[in-house]
Amino acid sequence: MRVLTLVAIAIVLMLQYRIWFGQNGLQDLRELRQEVARQAQANESLQQRNQLLAADIDDLRTALEAVEERARNELGLVRPDETFFRLIAVDEQEPDT
């Protein structure tokens, strides 16, 4: 009975050693959690960068549209394949008699 108890204790100690210090043990788990935290932080910074780039792209698209609109309205420019018609409102006043 005593030998069986010693063998059981030895097995438990060996398994505990593997859990705490062995491959895929708690040390590896701790390192993996730190790596996940570092990666999450890197992902966050990259997402912020992507949002800034998307905002820049939207600004450039809007700016190009704004420039084109100003060129059309203020300078009367048209594209080569377009025909431009300007309608001028005529004030209808009664002639002086």
Identity at 68, one-letter amino acid code: E
Among 28, 23, 16, smallest CA distance to 8 is for 16
Judged by DSSP in three states, 8 sits in helix
pTM for the model: 0.47
Rounded to whole angstroms, the Cα distance separating 28 from 69 reads: 61
Give tens-digit pLDDT for 39-70: 999 999 999 999 999 988 888 788 888 788 88
Is the separation of the CB atoms in 77 and 71 below 8 Å? yes
Residue 51: per-residue pLDDT:
96
Sign, CA torsion 11/12/13/16? positive
